[in-house]
Amino acid sequence: MTHTRETTMRLKTALLGAAALTALAPAAMAQPTERGASGHLGLFYWQAPSVLNPYLSAGTKDLEASSLMLEPLARYDENGTMVPYLAAEIPTVENGGVSEDLTSITWTLAEGVLWSDGSPLTAEDVRFTWEYCTAEGGGCAQLAKFEGVTDVEVVDDQTVTVRFDGPQPNPYTAFVGYQGPILNHEQFADCLGPAAPQCTEANFGPIGTGPYVVTDFRPNDVVQLEANENYRDASKPYFATVTMKGGGDATAAARAVLETGEYDYAWNLQLAPDVLEGMVEGGTGQLNTAFGASVERIEANLTDASPDLPEGERSTVAHPHPFLTDPAVREALSMAIDRTLLTEIGYGEAGRPTCDLVPAPELYASGNTDCIEQDLEGAMQMLEEAGYTDTNGDGVRETPDGEPLEMLYQTSTNAVRQDYQALIKEWWEQIGFSVELRNIDSSVFFGGDPGSPDTFQRFYADVEMYTNTFDGTDPQAYLSAYTCNKIPSPDSAWVGENINRYCSEDYDALIAELGETADLDERGRIAKQMNDMLTNQSHIIIPLTARGELSGVANSLGGVKLNAWDSELWNIADWYRIEG
């Protein structure tokens, strides 16, 4: 254990040193002033992009790659603040951009933005993007971003109004963030609906307004790009050409940036902390982390998943769980966990212990810390007081009805998750549970096959563990997953996001209230209350670790601002080569 702590400390020192260097760098070395002055940039995305149209694939790798060409009206910066990109400014109720009744938002496009083919960006392109994604039979991956949108109206060439079917307290869903960039309406005109996959040329090389243009795309292998001649800032991007290479695994990616220096930037380096520490000593690069809202958590099943029940009744609200329905049991489970130790072992600098379902942004984060301290004694006492004692001396407690506290704990197959499972099992057995572990291939676990008994929605286990997050900075859609009407069941073909089968009138009332509240502080208050209801008040959800993005950056690469709220490449036009 001490070894791991030491390792982490050394890694921390290395990171701090690196951070200090980065901070000093711009002062010491001048930024270039003209387009293409920095030469060539090598990005390594070990999960290589498959398609460059973000509406056909929601995979993060594809969204990141497409953000080099395609841009939204507004996106989030590294602090989660919205910044205008193709829009002239962020519309608000104050500046008249959002209507008083919150049913429409009017965007004004920035002046003089050109597509990479030289034609001007117009409001027609914005409207077309909406038509493209909502076309019947297209299977648009970002359809949820347009939920509630009834019309996108072209007011004039530079102005477009998005109308909603009711008041929308968060109107920044459509055309915001790297999930919602604007497509060129001429290029995609014949690609609506079922014709979408037939436009290979457009899907593999979309005309965009962004800093780069695709010159060669080989799916799951490599993307080659060059600076967009028509980019709106005449002095940017500083890199003339970019290669985005894929293949191999995270270790190979880390090696290419940190040890051999063949590439300048490596994405998603989720590796064991001690492996990374050894690589940083290679000396050609450093690690960058940024935290968004991702949380690794354990979810408790409030219904009985016992295999003794007939098929169709297992894990349904018809049969409440024999002991997980008791808040005292769930709280004891949470108290027994040492989140700090778990996080150090599993994620190192790329994780932080957390007690919240919504750990960020600040406006919505409760910032609870009461769960951080592990308390095995307290957990045992709590079980004892609630009437769970070991009556037959086998080391496992029984419920007052005599049923032993036996649990099946499932998650997806992944080295870090199996470490978590082993440690948590150990702690839970210390306080008197009997725990069986199970891991399922992620393509099955997260796949939606209604016929498979192993999906996370079907939840044929007592507790399960995975990571989830939300797009952008507003948690409304995320929190609304836990309403009564979203409980998966055989009647809904196990579709539904409320996998705990949690149901509370108070909670449902709060989500309705959140849906009608526009005032940001008030929204923050409601969201925090909902977070607390699910976590430290009831422990239905046991948050473990807030997970950050972890990327490798070459020492000679300047201008990188790692962003967990949007594409990591969001400000690539500002990246430059540090001469030295």
Partner 1 sequence: MLTYTIRRLILAIPTLLFIGLVIFLLLDLAPGDPMAQMPLSIPPEVREQMREALGMNEPVWVRFYLWLYQFFVVEPQVIFDAIFGTGFAEDKLRILSWQFRSPVMDIIAQRVPQTLWVVGLAYVVGVVIAVPIGIVSAVRQYSIFDNIGTFVSMVGFSVPTFFTGVLLIVIFSVQLGWFPSIYDTTLVVTGWDSFLAQLRQMVMPVFVLALYNAAQISRFMRASMLDNMDQDYVRTARAKGMDERVVVLRHVLRNSMIPVITVIALGVPQVFGGAIITEQVFKVNGLGQLLITAIQANDLPMVQTLTFMFAVLIVLFNLIADVLYGVLDPRIRYD
> At closest approach, how far in Å is the CB of 409 from partner 1?
19
The residue within the footprint of partner 1, chosen from 255, 397, 458, 528 (CB under 8 A), is: 255
The Cβ of residue 525 has, within 10 Å, a number of other Cβ atoms equal to 15
Can residue 256 be called a binding residue for partner 1 (CB under 8 A)? Answer: yes
HSE on the CB side for 409, CA within 13 Å? 24
Can residue 196 be called a binding residue for partner 1 (CB under 8 A)? Answer: yes
Q: Build a one-symbol-per-residue string for 261-300: x at contacts with partner 1 by CB under 8 A, - elsewhere.
A: -xx------------------x------------------
Can residue 413 be called a binding residue for partner 1 (CB under 8 A)? Answer: no
> At closest approach, how far in Å is the CB of 407 from partner 1?
23
Task: Give CA–CA dist 195/56, Å, rounded.
Answer: 12
Task: Give CA–CA dist 169/172, Å, rounded.
Answer: 9
> At closest approach, how far in Å is the CB of 368 from partner 1?
23
Amino acid (1-letter code) at residue 145: K
Angle at 139 between CA 138 and CA 140, to 5 degrees: 90
Can residue 318 be called a binding residue for partner 1 (CB under 8 A)? Answer: no
Question: What Cα–Cα distance (Å) separates residue 376 from each residue in 64, 324, 424, 547?
Answer: 43, 18, 12, 25
| CA-wise closest residue to 125 among 154, 148, 91 | 154
> At closest approach, how far in Å is the CB of 205 from partner 1?
12
Q: Build a one-symbol-per-residue string for 118-157: x at contacts with partner 1 by CB under 8 A, - elsewhere.
A: -------------------xxxxx-xx-------------
Can residue 58 be called a binding residue for partner 1 (CB under 8 A)? Answer: yes
DSSP letters spanning 121-186:
P-HHHHHHHHHHHHSTTS--TTGGGGTTEEEEEEEETTEEEEEESS--S----TTBSTTSPPPPTT
The residue within the footprint of partner 1, chosen from 170, 203, 411, 473 (CB under 8 A), is: 203
Can residue 247 be called a binding residue for partner 1 (CB under 8 A)? Answer: yes
* Residue 506, token pair as written in the block: 């108070």
Can residue 572 be called a binding residue for partner 1 (CB under 8 A)? Answer: no
The residue within the footprint of partner 1, chosen from 148, 167, 219, 322 (CB under 8 A), is: 219
Contact status, residue 364 vs residue 528, Cβ threshold 8 Å: yes
Can residue 220 be called a binding residue for partner 1 (CB under 8 A)? Answer: yes
> At closest approach, how far in Å is the CB of 318 from partner 1?
22
* Binding region for partner 1 (CB under 8 A) out of 21-29, 47-55, 327-335, 372-380: 47-55
Radius of gyration of the chain (CA): 25
Can residue 444 be called a binding residue for partner 1 (CB under 8 A)? Answer: yes
Task: Give CA–CA dist 499/460, Å, rounded.
Answer: 11
Can residue 260 be called a binding residue for partner 1 (CB under 8 A)? Answer: yes
Task: Give CA–CA dist 554/279, Å, rounded.
Answer: 12
Residues 6 or more apart in contact with residue 457 via CB below 8 angstroms? 448, 488, 494, 495, 496, 497, 499
Binding site for partner 1 (CB under 8 A): 44, 48, 50-51, 53, 56-60, 137-141, 143-144, 194, 196-198, 200, 203-204, 216, 218-222, 224, 243, 245-249, 252, 255-256, 259-260, 262-263, 282, 441-449, 452, 454, 457, 466, 468-471, 477-478, 495-497
